[in-house]
A and B are shown apart, each in its own frame.
Chain A
Amino acid sequence: MQVREVANSLTFRYIVKYVTALSATVFVLAVSFYIYFSYSSFIDLGESVIEELETLQLVYRGGELAGVEQYIEAQTSSPSVNRFYYLVTDGTGDKVAGDLPSASRYRQFDDGWLGFEMALQNWGESVEVEFLAHPMELGEGYSAIVARGYADIVERAKLVFRTLVTVMVATLVLGITGGFFSASRALDRVQILNRDISRIIRGAPSQRLHVDEEQGYVRALAEVMNQMLEQMESLMQGVRRVSDNIAHDLRTPLTRMRNNLSQLRSRLSDRDGVSQLDGIIDECDDLLTSFNALLRISALESGSRLAGGSDVELRALLSDVVELYEPLALDRDICLELDAPQAQFCRGEADLLFQMFANVLDNALKYTPSGGSIQVRLRPGNGLGSVNGHSIVISDSGPGIPVSERKNVFRRFYRVESSRTELPGHGLGLSLVQAIAQYHYGRVELGSNNPGLQVRVRLP
């Protein structure tokens, strides 16, 4: 299973989009909530500063400056940095109490609020802390500033923000990983269907789609398609059976007719009549050959494939075929040569393999113009990189078959338009070749010999 295939799959892309949108939404919502809470804790901070100022004022009213000094002394003795800081000045602006430096540069905010930064010792470390402060008149020229650092609020905000980002990234990663696996699972199931369907297309009509153990839409789809295939196959078989029956049932009376004709011929004395009868008998034989070929193709295609067979030596077989056709080639001034450097053994039925190569060679001889050449080449390996199997290539210097026709010529009774009128034949030769090759778990491919036709038979 390729990562790219999964990544490109519809399910995966859908899940990624969904997870991204979902986590972004959750993130935005959480951030908004947090901003709201941070804001309110900021407000609380301000309120506590004001309250502290009011306390300070009460202290001042009760105990004059000395009371204030005492109070501030008590408050600032706390080791925590999250406490109030104080500055009390007299009418001239000189510091009289508190622990804030007198000459801080304050930033003026609205409503009398002040802001400044100050370095604090926290765990032995000097930390620049932002403060929020508010001044207030205590009376008699004295004024006070109470400040409080808000680093804790900022820290907390940062922490929460980091947590949120981490959670979002984790959600995305987990969501996409999960999405990848569920997409690859879905893809797996679709690819199983794909593979089964390709097999049917390549010529295994009895193949059925794999039905998942798990309930679900893929299983339902596979079941429905299997029903459809079942129907299609029985229809196809019906059509084939009808044509086979026709061929079969016509063969018997045709043979009888042929026998009667040859009886008649032997009794006939007039020469013209005899030669006319000979023509009719030849046509009968032609038809019978065609019927036989048709029935053989059907028998090969509908039955099970080769089981058993014997070890056939292909070089010897091919040289027998070539030898059989050599006189025909010589008569037509065609150079026919066999190129088979080594003996190769193949499991099969010798008669059928002979028939197959004879048909191919027959065609090659039929279409190659005189003076041309035909080559039969036998090589080990299936031609696709494997050393197992056999590759037999029969190339001629005839007109070849146009690319658009190459698939069609394997169909029964199909003939390339140009040869339909010019040359004898029934359009069954290559169908039989293919049926025999497939019966032996092999295949036939047509290619160009530039110019000419190249027929490649691959056998396992």
Chain B
Amino acid sequence: MSSVLGALSSMNILLVEDDKQVAEFVVAELSAAGHSCVHACDGSAGREAAINHAYDVMVIDRMMPKMNGLELISALRKAGDNTPVLVLSALGDVDDRVQGLHSGADDYLVKPFAMAELLARLDVLKRRSAKLESEAQTRLVVHDLSMDLLRQFVQRGETTINLQPREYKLLEYLMRHAGQVVTRAMLLEHVWGYHFDPQTNVIDVHISRLRQKIDKGFERPLLLTVRGTGYRLGPELDH
């Protein structure tokens, strides 16, 4: 089985979505990407499903009859369920985003979305929750690239790499999500801290400068472009 994202570890996903067409499509795509997906068609059904079964991540639509997405998340959080949640919404205003994240959601995606974006975000969410359980890291390593978080020191092999502050943040984010696909929107949100739509490929320029520093002169490129989706840090996988 091969998907856009290559080797993603399989996840147990709960999808709470009232729109049948969207649900069918998402379930099909998630299954095609190798995940197992359960669909609940409204808020209260979603709540039942979440209580009865443990999931790696949940994808919850915001506007639903009976119990809306944000109410569902609040209820789950109150009941002590800390499963990462991604909210899907047709609303794209800043206020709505903030509200969504306030209610306890971990990420927010505006409909309609590219499937690759959803997959990348879910993967990051799942690993983030897994990492929270392990102890805080002081050192990140990807292949022969290493980052000392205490001394802010980056090395590839024996070569020291000098990075600008933003390049350092960018690389740190990529290394924390090594092997995962990160999209341009994710980078803007987490490295730059702004949620906006760039008109040009401004992120690509940052990536190519970073690539110059960490990959140039090395046999094996680490920073890869995933066509149509984003980037991935890690040794190239065999197709």
Interchain CB contact under 8 A, B199 and A359: yes
Q: How far is the CB of A377 from chain B (nearest CB, A)?
A: 21
Contacts A252-B112, A349-B94 given: A325-B202 contact, CB under 8 Å?
A: yes
B1-59 contacts to A (CB < 8 Å): 2-4, 25, 29, 32
Judged by a CB distance under 8 angstroms, whether B198 is at the interface is: yes
Judged by a CB distance under 8 angstroms, whether A262 is at the interface is: yes
Binary contact readout A324-356 vs B (1 if CB under 8 angstroms, 0 otherwise)? 110110010000000000000000011110110
Binary contact readout B167-196 vs A (1 if CB under 8 angstroms, 0 otherwise)? 000000000000000000000000011111
Interchain CB contact under 8 A, A362 and B200: yes
Interchain CB contact under 8 A, B115 and A328: no
Interface centre among B29, B114, B199, B229 (most CB of A within 10 A): B199
What residues of A have a CB within 8 angstroms of the CB of B158 in the complex? none
Interchain CB contact under 8 A, A281 and B112: no
Judged by a CB distance under 8 angstroms, whether B80 is at the interface is: no
Judged by a CB distance under 8 angstroms, whether A255 is at the interface is: yes
Binary contact readout B196-239 vs A (1 if CB under 8 angstroms, 0 otherwise)? 11111010011001000000000000000001110000000000
What residues of B have a CB within 8 angstroms of the CB of A365 in the complex? 200
Interchain CB contact under 8 A, B92 and A296: yes
Complex CA gap A366/B200 in Å reads 9
Interface centre among B3, B4, B200 (most CB of A within 10 A): B200
Q: How far is the CB of B206 from chain A (nearest CB, A)?
A: 6
Complex CA gap A429/B205 in Å reads 20
What residues of B have a CB within 8 angstroms of the CB of A331 in the complex? 205
Complex CA gap A327/B205 in Å reads 6
Judged by a CB distance under 8 angstroms, whether A4 is at the interface is: no
Judged by a CB distance under 8 angstroms, whether B153 is at the interface is: no
Q: How far is the CB of A388 from chain B (nearest CB, A)?
A: 24
Interchain CB contact under 8 A, A281 and B25: no
Q: How far is the CB of B62 from chain A (nearest CB, A)?
A: 16
Interchain CB contact under 8 A, B29 and A320: no
A227-275 contacts to B (CB < 8 Å): 251-252, 254-256, 258-259, 262-263, 265-267
Complex CA gap A285/B185 in Å reads 13
Contacts A256-B25, A351-B195 given: A328-B227 contact, CB under 8 Å?
A: no
Contact of A262 among B93, B113, B116, B200 (CB under 8 A): B116
Complex CA gap A324/B204 in Å reads 11
Number of A-B contacts (CB under 8 A): 92
Judged by a CB distance under 8 angstroms, whether A41 is at the interface is: no
Judged by a CB distance under 8 angstroms, whether A358 is at the interface is: yes
What residues of B have a CB within 8 angstroms of the CB of A282 in the complex? 228
Contact of B205 among A251, A278, A323, A328 (CB under 8 A): A328
Complex CA gap A326/B45 in Å reads 50
B94-129 contacts to A (CB < 8 Å): 94, 111-116
Interchain CB contact under 8 A, B114 and A362: no
Interchain CB contact under 8 A, A255 and B114: yes
Instruction: Identify whether the interface residues of B are mostly helix, strand, loop, or mixed.
Output: loop
Complex CA gap A458/B85 in Å reads 39
Q: How far is the CB of A318 from chain B (nearest CB, A)?
A: 12
Judged by a CB distance under 8 angstroms, whether A292 is at the interface is: yes
Judged by a CB distance under 8 angstroms, whether B166 is at the interface is: yes
A278 nearest in chain B by CB position: B227
What residues of A have a CB within 8 angstroms of the CB of B25 in the complex? 256, 259
Interchain CB contact under 8 A, B4 and A292: no
Complex CA gap A303/B95 in Å reads 12
Interchain CB contact under 8 A, A262 and B199: no
Complex CA gap A265/B198 in Å reads 25
What residues of B have a CB within 8 angstroms of the CB of A352 in the complex? 94, 196
Complex CA gap A429/B198 in Å reads 10
What residues of B have a CB within 8 angstroms of the CB of A96 in the complex? none
Q: How far is the CB of A203 from chain B (nearest CB, A)?
A: 20
Contact of A324 among B111, B116, B192, B209 (CB under 8 A): B192
Q: How far is the CB of A60 from chain B (nearest CB, A)?
A: 121
Q: How far is the CB of B212 from chain A (nearest CB, A)?
A: 10
Interchain CB contact under 8 A, A262 and B206: no
A39-86 contacts to B (CB < 8 Å): none
Complex CA gap A196/B195 in Å reads 37
B32 nearest in chain A by CB position: A263
What residues of B have a CB within 8 angstroms of the CB of A324 in the complex? 192, 202, 206
Contact of B227 among A263, A265, A289 (CB under 8 A): A265
B residues apposed to A, CB below 8 Å: 2-4, 25, 29, 32, 92-94, 111-116, 166, 192-200, 202, 205-206, 209, 227-229
Q: Known pairs A262-B114, A328-B205, A358-B202. 20 more at Cβ < 8 A?
A: A252-B111, A255-B112, A259-B116, A262-B116, A263-B4, A263-B115, A266-B4, A282-B228, A292-B197, A293-B197, A296-B197, A320-B194, A327-B202, A327-B205, A351-B196, A354-B194, A354-B196, A362-B200, A362-B202, A366-B200
Sample (9) of A-B pairs whose CB atoms are under 8 Å apart: A251-B112, A263-B115, A281-B228, A293-B197, A295-B92, A320-B194, A328-B205, A359-B199, A366-B200
